[in-house]
Amino acid sequence: MSVSGLENLGERLQELRKQRELSMDMVVYDVARAYHIEFNKSNLSRWENGLSYPSLVNAAALAKYYNVSLDYLIGNTDIRTPVELLHQPHIRVRIKRQQLQHDLELQNHFEALELHKANIRGKVHGNRKVAPKRSIQNKSDKSN
């Protein structure tokens, strides 16, 4: 079973555990106790060998336990980004700035799309936009 983007998960789990010289039993005990979740050595073995994948709750607990980002754990990035960094003010400012820049880009794309739609609805001749034809109203409609 292959899920796009998760091919590195097992390798990363095994690498993190071995770098810390931890047994599977130790990881299972520590994670289950610290994060109040249930899984066993068999689950961890299957995850490390790529035979199955942990739930989001279990993956998040393991990322927190190993002090890496979930993105690192699942292979979206090679930067280990410790969880604590996300809570530091200068990192939050940078993230907020990136979000604002992203929002501005989306707004610009949206405005360009609206302008394009308006140009399609009305006829454009040269640099001059011609208003669409208006419907003719009955005289009875005008008197009301």
The identity of residue 96, as a single letter, is K
> From CA 86, how far away is CA 119, in angstroms rounded?
44
User: Residues 5, 74: contact at Cβ < 8 Å?
Assistant: yes
Specify the number of domains making up the chain: 2
Q: What residues contact residue 19 under an 8 Å CB cut-off, 6+ apart?
A: none
Give tens-digit pLDDT for 62-118.
Answer: 999 998 888 889 888 887 876 556 666 666 666 667 777 877 888 888 788 888 877
Q: Using DSSP, state whether 4 is helix, strand or coil.
A: coil
- Using only the alpha carbons of the chain, give its radius of gyration: 28
pLDDT of residue 28: 94
Strand partners, 125: 128
Same domain for 47 and 27: yes
Residue 2 — very low, low, confident or very high, per pLDDT cuts 50/70/90? very low
Q: Domain limits at 109? A: 88-125
Same domain for 113 and 78: no
Same domain for 44 and 24: yes
Same domain for 101 and 59: no
| Alpha-carbon dihedral 37, 41, 43, 48, rounded to 10 degrees | 110
Q: pTM for this structure?
A: 0.55
Report yes or no on 134 lying in a domain: no
Q: What residues contact residue 88 under an 8 Å CB cut-off, 6+ apart?
A: none
Give tens-digit pLDDT for 33-74.
Answer: 998 888 899 999 999 999 999 999 999 999 999 988 888 898
Here the tokens at position 91 are 């990192």
Of residues 6 and 1, the one with the higher pLDDT is 6
Same domain for 50 and 26: yes
pLDDT of residue 139: 53
